[in-house]
Structure 1
Amino acid sequence: MAPRLSVVVPIYNVERYLKECLDSIAAQTFTDFECVMVDDGATDSSAAIAEAHAAADHRFRLVRQRNQGLGAARNTGWRNLTPGTEYLAFVDSDDSLPPGAYQLMISTLDKTGSDFACGNVKRFRSTGYYQSGAHVKPFKETRLRTHVTELPPLVTDRTAWNKVYRRSFFDEAGIRYPEGILYEDAPVSVPHHYLAEAVDVLSEHIYHWRERELDDPSITQGRTNPRGLIDRVRSMELVREWLTARPEQRFRDNLRSYDYNCLVEEIPMFFWWVPDGDRAYRAVYQEHVSRLLREIGTDRIRDLRTPLRVKYQLTLGDRMEEFVALQRVHRAYRRRVTKLKQRAAAAKAKG
């Protein structure tokens, strides 16, 4: 008989973290699962660690492939699932889960019949755990059988691994992870939110997302890496292309709300890194962000608040020196405001 839950774990050069990740899966209070580990051509001892888990626990098994990247490894894991499993989850191999994560999500889905459940996330490093800023808004409170059109902040729930999918929904949606790019989560997670009939949103923290230490940064922590910027823009374009290609009017309406979120939340994340980038990084920013802005429509910029509007106009006009100068002033102001708030909070705590 097939287990109820399949968990896919792509693995590439994570010997420092992998045992902790796999141990957290093995320790789940929901025990009726299989864990398909995908060795994506690791060159360190990661595969040996995975093999040891497979030898010690029949629920774990290892699939091997040449290095193709995270998206391809997730797709390989999906292709190697046991037929007939009811639920599906993904875990990144440097992260971990609290023991009751899958028990909570699956018991919720059993009650509601929703297409998938998604939950809150904590970040962690050697100094401790803290709330993931990227997951604050959508997971402020528990909402069962909701939808992104009812809860707009769900459009920012782009990560692959804080979810349990009803496998029939995932399979029938037919959306696979893009291969060969970083930030491959959004082109799957965002369309799933739009396709779902109902989604369970849980305020409980069901996933622990590692922040790599300074001596071992992850690919996505390289903030002035031009490839990261290029691929993140491409990720947004893939979501837009999916929404644009849908024949139903409701998806064209959803495109407008997705574009607005890109303009006010996702693209502005680049602003903070541009002053630290070299000339080549700034040129990449100007080229790729300008292309995305034109795809969205430059007329949408007129309705934005003044600071955003000015930065986008400078970007489109290739006036990067002025952009950097403005952003440095804005960044210094924000840091000053943050320090003042921290001091006020500390003073209030002292009574």
Structure 2
Amino acid sequence: MSRERDGGTGTGGGSGTGARTGEGSGTGGGTAAAAILAASAGTGTGTGTALGTGTGGGAAFGPVAAHLSHRVPDLGALELLLAVARLGSLGAAAREVGITQPAASSRIRSMERQLGVALVDRSPRGSRLTDAGALVTDWARRIVEAAESFDAGVQALRGRRDSRLRVVASMTIAEYLLPGWLIALRAERPDTAVSLQAGNSAVVAQRLLAGEADLGFVEGLAVPDGLDGTVVAHDRLAVVVAPSHPWARRRAPITPSELAATPLVLREHGSGTRQVLDAALAGHGGLARPLLELASTTAVKAAAVSGAGPAVLSELAIAEELSSRRLVAVPVEGARLSRDLRAVWPTGHRPTGPARDLLSLTRARPAG
């Protein structure tokens, strides 16, 4: 972690009277703790990355990019020191921060060793800050207040992120799987507004890479370039015809070559269904010119039901039509028509918040 830090290089020419400005006479370039010690004493050889600007009088805040020193205490220790300063008792401070008094005493001693200065004078009457401890406490108060502001800001960012979820999915997943997943998500996150966009697998990738969606789902053969993904379900494609089509009465399976040579009702290029079919028939002459090329699963299904011609559709999309005999599945032998359904997201940006929860639900409620 780097940040603009108060710092100095060279020799400090101050008179040693500036407890807050770090006008010690020591050389610059060391730790915050040593600078605090030099500033509190007014003289000495304490080094001061945190205080002083180098030569001359040493302004308090000289912007120098640096890494946090190993001598900077953690926030928990600083909060404990502030409680001791406010309550005047190590025991009361321990109770306030929720630890035992021995643990609090050990933490204060550890911080004193870390900084190299004594912070607290302990006596039967209570605990009193040393001069250096008072200076460190003043610094600690500003650090803790800044941390509280940082935490509040991060919580606001998380709240804004969690208030909405933008999902983009290819047609079959959008129509037949996502509704159930989104209903389950609403039960877990009732305050999250969800928007769902549907498109082919190429459109899903484009919208994710453009930052227009938080999580996507695709049906193609592989994860699109620029995205990471995980398999959430499995699916098979089926060749279907209307009951009046001659293929509905044939007994022998369709061969890949016969299927490739037949004009079909197809999804458009870029769809996961088309990718799988193109790959399955690539070694058999490739697809014939489509009878119809349509942009949605519903449209392809409607055309097949009307008797326009054979179609290739996801088994998820045709279960009702097969059950009611509005469509008839035609066996195909020798072609691989199965596929994986994947959740995808931009490479290196693992889903968080509602997107992460939706991804978990796809695994808890598998389909296909």
So what's the TM-score if we normalise by structure 2?
Answer: 0.20
Give the number of the structure whose alpha-carbon radius of gyration is greater. Answer: 2
So what's the TM-score if we normalise by structure 1?
Answer: 0.20
Normalized per residue, the structure richer in helix is 1
